[in-house]
Homo-oligomer: A and B are copies of this chain.
């Protein structure tokens, strides 16, 4: 089943927001065997919405619109669709009752604009929105499903998962397979990997393809399998993924969509270990990554964020002499930070960072991007020095991921 995603909203085109809905939809629909062949972002203009429908590829059987369903005047999707289909808006009393109930919960009055959301094109099947006021809509038009959903990400996700997919699964049979497997590697640049993997790539059958996704310090390798159902696509994918995995064992840190922090969470649970952090230049980002994982309170105990030198001394008992002699960005300092953090926090493993995230603060001797990372383990303290490039955000991110990776290597498999 071929699908196009169309996100509506001037705020996307002028770059005021980043469209994350399309990415989620791509992943979610792929998992149903639905192939996204194009994503478009268009303006909140009736003519652009009509133009987008008219310009659809003939083979597109599913169109996912998101956005433009708010109660304000700049939102024009609902009226544009009614207009396109040449139908009136009709009133759905159950939607209005739901809006009233939602507002009552927050002790707010329902105004005229809110009530207008209970009026929908006569030819749609409403997708009842339990998380908000704008219902989704499902249309069937000349052999093609057209879906319109609100742009608010958690409302959109709710409507897809709980309302749309169950309905689609009833109405449509998908006879194709679309599967992905991804290997997460690091430390070897894309072009070197690609040269090494040339014979492997040549050996892939037509139903499989290999893609490279480089990001700071790492490369994700994705094999995609595509073909008719029951023709062995999945088996072939598994077999070739196994070969790839074996060939790259030494540089692999995980598989699939796992983030580094999730992998670490699993390892810490497995080893029944606990972790804490003494952060300086990473400014809380390592802790944020670790605690973004549900259930992380089982192994993550806390962090000491000593941004100033005074706090490195007063909280982490870093020796003033070392701060003076070697500077805050030094082996001596990060090792003391990690050691003392482990004691204060009562954890088996403690990471520490100290570096120059920039844009200011660099020198010839210690340039922007220089970061020392320390790791205290039950067996001792180690540290390493890195030179990252990029802007402040990138340096903070790379340093945090590198620190987590030092911990991952220490924890083993």
Determine if A60 is an interface residue (Cβ-Cβ < 8 Å): no
Measured CA separation A13–B73 after assembly (Å): 31
The answer to whether B284 touches A224 (Cβ under 8 A) is no
B154 touches A292 (CB 8 A): no
Binding site for B on A (CB under 8 A): 10-20, 22-28, 30, 36-44, 48, 55, 70-74, 108, 111-114, 133, 152, 154, 180, 182, 189-192, 194-195, 201, 209-214, 220, 222, 224, 257, 277, 279, 283-288, 290-292, 294-297, 300-308, 310-311, 314-315, 344-346, 357-361, 390-394, 396
Can you give 28 contacting A-B residue pairs, CB < 8 Å?
Answer: A12-B39, A13-B26, A13-B37, A14-B26, A14-B27, A15-B30, A16-B27, A16-B180, A16-B213, A18-B19, A19-B23, A37-B43, A70-B212, A72-B191, A72-B194, A74-B212, A111-B195, A133-B191, A154-B390, A283-B290, A283-B291, A284-B291, A285-B288, A291-B396, A294-B358, A301-B311, A302-B315, A303-B304
B38–A39 CB distance below 8 A: no
Q: Given contacts A40-B38, A195-B111, A305-B303, is CB(A292)–CB(B18) below 8 Å?
A: no
For residue A70, which residues in chain B have a CB less than 8 angstroms away from its CB? 190, 212, 214
Are B211 and A294 closer than 8 Å at their CB atoms?
no
| A284 close to B307 (CB less than 8 A) | no
A39, B41: Cβ atoms closer than 8 Å: yes
The residues of B that contact A71 with a CB separation of less than 8 Å are 190-191, 194
Given A39-B40, A292-B283, A305-B284, verify A15-B11 contact (CB < 8 Å): no
**Copies in the assembly, this chain:** 2
Minimum C-beta distance from A297 to chain B (A): 6
Say whether A24 contacts B15, CB under 8 Å: yes
User: Are B23's CB and A17's CB within 8 A?
Assistant: yes
Most-contacted residue by chain B among A43, A213, A360, A361 (CB, 10 A): A213
